[in-house]
């Protein structure tokens, strides 16, 4: 609502950047951390379905904004989005309840996590992966328009296409992880994401860009939905799950903050000399490094046998 009243850049930073960012963090982590107290055998599927909600929002909100902005103006378009958020959030806020209430308030930081090598290794892999993950999400729309592969309207719809595919990418691999183990899913998923980013170097048409965006949306879902399940898998003391997920995603959030501007720095600001090759290589290398780290962790945890649940 406050964004709809903004007139200057600093007001946008406060409303959209800080307030929405803080609010989203306060919604996401408890919404995910509470699930392990309700689910055990189907935890992956439960977390995947929960995480898929943000992908659905990534489909609905941009389209609503795009369709309304020229009809009712910026202010009321943003207010419509705010009313949608208010109405949809009332449902989970009504039903969300702690199943087991701790005897005392949990610590903001679990200092034992900094001596837990598997936890630290996984977090490092996720941080590196997320540095490059959002590069495609941030720049694929601009890429289509800047190169002339897609017109303005189709360029806009690339992001909803990516998010629509991500709905399935956040549920199907998570459902399979209940049988295979989360590390067995996130490792190949990260490597495939890397290969798809490199494939952007070969795209020369709208059809190729649309198909590749869809595949990227699907496989990138493993980065969004599987880390909470991996944290549950790597945390022996289940009473620490909420704190450790929060700590992990705080570091991942910093990675997202780094990745977008870093990708923009590689791309450059001159429309006549944009470094798309360097941008996609940067995204592909970070995703590949993440996959290698996940693989090393998986091997250290369960050995080379690919049929072992890990």
pLDDT of residue 103: 67
- Please state the length of the chain: 310
The CATH number linked to 192 is: 1.20.1250.20
Residue 56 inside a domain? The answer is yes
Residue 158 inside a domain? The answer is yes
Both tokens of residue 36? 């392990």
Q: Angle of helix 152-180 relative to helix 182-199, nearest 10 degrees? A: 150
Residue 310 inside a domain? The answer is no
Residue 185 inside a domain? The answer is yes
pLDDT of residue 126: 94
Residue 57 inside a domain? The answer is yes
| Cβ density class 256-273: b for 16+ within 10 Å, e for less | beebeebbeebbeeeeee
Computed on alpha carbons and rounded to an integer, the radius of gyration of the chain in Å comes to 20
DSSP annotation of 107 reads: P
Helix (H, G, I), strand (E, B) or coil at 197: helix
Residue 96 inside a domain? The answer is yes
pLDDT of residue 102: 67
Residue numbers of the domain that contains 228: 7-100+109-302
Residue 88 inside a domain? The answer is yes
Q: How far apart (Å, rounded) are the C-alpha atoms in residues 240 and 246?
A: 10
- Percent residues over pLDDT 90 in the chain: 33
Q: How far apart (Å, rounded) are the C-alpha atoms in residues 28 and 33?
A: 8
Contacts by residues 245-249 (CB-CB < 8 Å, ≥ 24 positions apart): 245/29, 245/32, 245/33, 246/29, 246/33, 247/109, 247/110, 247/113, 248/119, 248/122, 248/123, 248/126, 249/25, 249/28, 249/29
Does the CA dihedral 300-289-48-50 come out positive or negative? Answer: positive
Residue 308 inside a domain? The answer is no
Q: How far apart (Å, rounded) are the C-alpha atoms in residues 54 and 77?
A: 19
Name residues of the chain where pLDDT drops below 50.
none
Closest CA to 176 of 189, 185, 165: 185
Both tokens of residue 109? 């930081």
Domain count across the chain: 1
Q: How far apart (Å, rounded) are the C-alpha atoms in residues 170 and 158?
A: 18
pLDDT of residue 84: 92
Query: pLDDT tens digits, residue range 103-147?
Result: 666 777 888 889 999 999 999 999 999 998 889 988 998 898 888
pTM, whole model, 2 decimals?
0.86
pLDDT of residue 45: 87
């Amino acid at each position: 609502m406050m964004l709809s009243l903004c007139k200057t850049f600093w007001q946008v930073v406060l409303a959209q950047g800080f307030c929405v960012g803080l609010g989203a963090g306060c919604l996401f982590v408890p919404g995910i951390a509470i699930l392990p107290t309700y689910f055990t055998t189907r935890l992956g599927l439960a977390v995947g379905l929960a995480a898929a909600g943000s992908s659905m929002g990534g489909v609905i909100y941009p389209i609503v904004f795009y369709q309304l902005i020229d009809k009712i103006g910026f202010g009321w378009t943003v207010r419509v989005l705010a009313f949608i958020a208010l109405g949809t959030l009332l449902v989970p806020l009504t039903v969300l309840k702690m199943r087991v209430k701790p005897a005392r308030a949990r610590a903001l930081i679990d200092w034992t996590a900094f001596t837990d090598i598997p936890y630290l290794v996984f977090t490092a892999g996720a941080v590196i992966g997320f540095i490059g993950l959002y590069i495609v999400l941030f720049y694929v729309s601009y890429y289509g328009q800047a190169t002339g592969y897609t017109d303005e309207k189709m360029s806009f719809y690339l992001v909803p296409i990516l998010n629509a595919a991500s709905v399935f990418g956040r549920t199907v691999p998570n459902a399979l992880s209940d049988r295979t183990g989360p590390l067995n899913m996130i490792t190949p998923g990260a490597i495939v994401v890397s290969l798809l980013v490199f494939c952007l170097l070969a795209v020369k048409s709208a059809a190729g860009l649309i198909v590749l965006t869809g595949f990227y949306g699907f496989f990138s879902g493993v980065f969004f939905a599987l880390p909470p399940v991996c944290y549950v898998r790597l945390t022996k003391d289940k009473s620490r799950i909420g704190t450790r997920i929060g700590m992990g995603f705080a570091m991942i959030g910093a990675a997202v903050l780094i990745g977008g501007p870093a990708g923009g720095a590689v791309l450059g600001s001159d429309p006549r000399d944009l470094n798309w090759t360097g941008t996609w290589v940067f995204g592909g290398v970070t995703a590949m490094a993440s996959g290698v780290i996940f693989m090393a962790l998986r091997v250290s945890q369960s050995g080379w046998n690919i049929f072992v649940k890990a």
